[in-house]
């Protein structure tokens, strides 16, 4: 096993019920594999459009502090609510607790909202970077859908009556060779006898039509409610935990796995270990490295440098200037040279 593969953290996809008794047992199983102290970062982004997004995230934080108190977790809520200030998914100061977290959680809200406001963001860079350095990532409901290759527009179709379609997701598993369309609430029964609300409120008929709109290479991964699917990259397999099961639909086939089942990663597609920094960019080298590797420069500052370089290549100079100012507020100056950006600590100031 390569050194890089051995560092990858676990990923947990909750179909729902992340704050129920079943969810607690799943959290406990994953947390028990992490080194102490347990530092949890909870992202507000999926519910960032809601006026009470802080309460949505705080309920999860309260659950972690009370129901998982045996782990003595240190919990931070990250109010990165949108692409735009003052609570931006590109704000390094706001996101800083993510760099120390070994358990990152995102949950309820809108899948398409999260995908739109995290795509290409510093928050996504931190999420991927922490996972590559051993942090576990737990994603529930909307957040689990958002990290798909193709993201299901649940509210747009179910509530607003839009035509059946998919949108681009955050494609978290692409560096692993997996092209997944994750659908939570797979066994939902809220509609009772009146309306079929299975498959995240789409129903069987609409889901079959939606499958026809996907590339043949895309695998639909359905996760039942009160159920978690835990990706273990060292074992190259997934484990089904909780009250329900998992359904995999690919190339005309459908297969279900009950609680307690182990699923080889290869069953989800042409799985392979990612390249050392494949699909992530150089920022991963900056996030979570040991001090002797990165010297005294704070990780969030190094990540800002990378983000600014990306913006400059895209000719987004105004946004790049904002990043430069953020670095300055942290005590560092970014100087542009022929050989690229150079970072210099401002004299007479102490870095954050």
Q: What is the pTM of this model?
A: 0.82
Domain with CATH 3.40.50.880 in the chain: 3-268
pLDDT for position 1:
47
Alpha-carbon Rg for the chain in angstroms: 20
**Dihedral sign of CA atoms 56, 61, 67, 68 in order:** positive
pLDDT digits (tens, 9 = 90+) for 199-211: 999 999 999 999 9
Beta bridge partners of 74: 39
Residues of the chain whose pLDDT is less than 70? 1-6, 276-296, 299, 337-340, 347-352
Cα–Cα distance, 251 to 331 (Å, whole number): 53
pLDDT for position 309:
77
Cα–Cα distance, 71 to 77 (Å, whole number): 18
pLDDT digits (tens, 9 = 90+) for 235-280: 999 999 999 999 999 988 999 999 999 999 999 999 999 875 444 4
CATH 3.40.50.880, applies to 3-268: yes
């Amino acid at each position: 096993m390569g050194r890089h593969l051995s560092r990858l953290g676990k990923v947990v996809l909750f179909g729902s019920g992340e704050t129920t008794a079943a969810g607690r047992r799943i959290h406990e199983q994953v947390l028990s594999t992490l080194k102490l102290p347990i530092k949890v970062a909870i992202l507000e982004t999926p519910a960032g459009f809601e006026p009470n997004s802080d309460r949505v995230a705080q309920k999860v934080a309260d659950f972690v502090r009370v129901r998982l108190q045996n782990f003595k977790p240190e919990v931070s809520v990250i109010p990165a609510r949108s692409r735009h200030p003052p609570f931006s998914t590109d704000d390094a100061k706001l996101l800083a607790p993510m760099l120390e977290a070994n358990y990152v959680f995102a949950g309820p809200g809108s899948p398409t909202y999260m995908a739109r406001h995290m795509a290409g963001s510093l928050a996504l860079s931190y999420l991927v970077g922490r996972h590559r350095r051993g942090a576990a990532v737990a994603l529930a409901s909307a957040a689990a859908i958002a990290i798909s290759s193709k993201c299901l527009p649940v509210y747009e179709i179910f509530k607003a009556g839009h035509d059946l379609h998919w949108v681009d997701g955050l494609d978290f598993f692409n560096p692993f060779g997996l092209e997944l369309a994750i659908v939570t609430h797979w066994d939902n029964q809220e509609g009772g006898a009146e309306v079929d609300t299975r498959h995240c409120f789409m129903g069987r008929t609409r889901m079959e039509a939606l499958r026809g709109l996907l590339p043949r290479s895309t695998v639909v991964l359905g996760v039942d409610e009160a159920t978690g699917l835990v990706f273990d990259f060292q074992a190259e397999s997934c484990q089904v935990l909780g009250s329900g099961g998992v359904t995999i639909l690919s190339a005309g086939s459908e297969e279900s796995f009950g609680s307690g089942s182990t699923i080889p990663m290869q069953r989800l597609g042409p799985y392979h270990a990612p390249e050392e920094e494949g699909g992530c960019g150089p920022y991963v080298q900056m996030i979570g490295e040991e001090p002797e590797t990165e010297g005294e420069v704070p990780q969030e500052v190094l990540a800002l440098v990378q983000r600014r370089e990306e913006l400059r290549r895209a000719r987004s100079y105004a946004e790049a200037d904002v990043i430069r100012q953020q670095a300055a507020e942290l005590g560092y100056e970014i100087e542009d040279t022929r050989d690229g950006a150079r970072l210099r600590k401002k004299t007479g100031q102490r870095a954050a």
